[in-house]
Amino acid sequence: MNTLVWLISKIARFLSGGGDSRRSRSMAKRKEAGLYEGETAARARNFEADYRAATKLLKTRVDKSFPDNYHARLSTGGNSAYDHGEDRAAAVDTMSTAIAMALRDGATVQQAADAGAASVGI
């Protein structure tokens, strides 16, 4: 009796879920061979190009607001140089996240750049 139940469960599992795993294995094999071009492959290429374009649009604005070096500040006493490196690194991280999220939601390059600028207040 146990053998019959085991056999029925194996057949049911094969009929219900076996096709999905076979399809995913065949898609993976075709993709590795370079034969499968799905939506995600085309989307990834566009995402990278759009991301680079959005960061190029923001570069001059970031350089003005978050300099990439030491700047003197006018104050009496103490250290008169200020390192903007940490501020810039935090701003770049925040902008990168905002740009990526906007592009994944279907925004254009300009909209993604504006979202990145708005995320850090520039």
Which of helix, strand or coil describes residue 6?
Answer: helix
Q: How many helices (H) and strands (E) does the chain have?
A: 4, 2
Q: What is the pLDDT of residue 119?
A: 93
Please indicate, yes or no, whether residues 105 and 46 belong to a single structural domain of this protein. yes
State the residue range of the domain holding 8.
1-36
By the 8 A CB rule, do 50 and 112 touch?
Answer: yes
Q: How many domains does the chain have?
A: 2
Other residues' Cβ atoms within 10 Å of the Cβ of residue 114: 18
Q: Do residues 67 and 26 both lie within one domain?
A: no
Higher pLDDT, 53 or 82: 53
* Choice between 55 and 31, residue whose per-residue pLDDT is larger: 55
**Per DSSP, which regions of 28-121 are E strands?**
70-72, 81-83
pTM beyond 0.85, yes or no: no
pLDDT of 6 over the 90 cut: no
- % helix / strand / coil in the chain, to the nearest 5? 75, 5, 20
Regarding whether 24 and 48 lie in a shared domain, the answer is: no
118 in the same domain as 82 = yes
Query: What is the C-alpha separation between 62 and 109, in angstroms, rounded?
Result: 17
Range 44-59 average pLDDT: 85
pLDDT at 42 > cutoff 50: no
Mean pLDDT computed over 32-51 = 66
**pLDDT, tens digit, 9 for 90 and up, residues 78-106:** 666 666 778 888 889 999 999 999 999 88
